[in-house]
A and B are shown apart, each in its own frame.
Chain A
Amino acid sequence: MFDTALTAADLLFLAKGAGVTILVTLISVALGTLLGIVFGVIRYQVGPWWAAPLTFVLDVFRSVPLLIQLVLANAFLGVVLKLRMSGFTVACGVLTMYTAAYCAEIVRGGIEAVPMNTRRAARSLGMTWRQDMTSIVMPLATRVALPSWIGLALGVMKDSALVYVVQVTELLKSTQILITRLQEPLFLLMICGAFYFLISFPLARLGGYLERRWTND
Chain B
Amino acid sequence: MFGYTFQWKQVFARLPQMLDGALVTMQIAVLSMVIGIVLAVLLTLFRQSGSRLLSGIATAWVEIARNTPALFQIYMAHFGLGSFGIHLSPYVSLLVGITFNNAGYLAENFRGALKAIPETQTRAGRSLGMSPLQAFRHIVVPQMLRIAFLPMTNQMVWAVLMTSLGVTVGMNTDLFGVTQDLNALTFRTFELFAVAAVIFYLIVKVIQTAARLIAWRLFRY
Contact A176 B75 (CB under 8 A): yes
Binds B, one of A87-95, A127-135, A155-163: A155-163
State the interface size on chain B (CB cutoff 8 A). Answer: 36
Binds B, one of A4-12, A34-42, A116-124, A196-204: A196-204
Question: Which residues of A sit under 8 angstroms from B63, Cβ to Cβ?
Answer: 197, 201
Known: A185-B82, A193-B68. A79 touches B4 (CB 8 A): yes
Question: Which residues of B sit under 8 angstroms from A185, Cβ to Cβ?
Answer: 75, 79-80, 82-83
Is B58 positioned at the interface, with any CB of A under 8 Å from its CB?
no
Contact A80 B75 (CB under 8 A): no
Is B221 positioned at the interface, with any CB of A under 8 Å from its CB?
no
- Shortest Cβ gap from A175 to chain B (Å): 8
* Cβ-Cβ contact count across A and B, 8 Å cutoff: 101
Is A72 positioned at the interface, with any CB of B under 8 Å from its CB?
yes
Binds A, one of B46-54, B123-131, B136-144, B198-206: B198-206
Q: How far is the CA of A200 from the CA of B83 in the complex (A)?
A: 26
Interface residues of B in 66-104 (CB under 8 A from A): 66-72, 75-76, 79-80, 82-84
Chain A interface category by residue count? 35 or more
Contact A189 B72 (CB under 8 A): yes
Known: A71-B193, A200-B68. A63 touches B76 (CB 8 A): no
Q: Interface residues, chain A, CB within 8 Å of chain B?
A: 60, 63-69, 71-72, 75-76, 79-82, 154, 158-159, 161-162, 172, 176, 179, 184-186, 189, 192-193, 196-197, 200-201, 204
Is B190 positioned at the interface, with any CB of A under 8 Å from its CB?
yes
Binds A, one of B31-39, B157-165, B212-220: B157-165
Contact B69 A172 (CB under 8 A): yes
Is B57 positioned at the interface, with any CB of A under 8 Å from its CB?
no
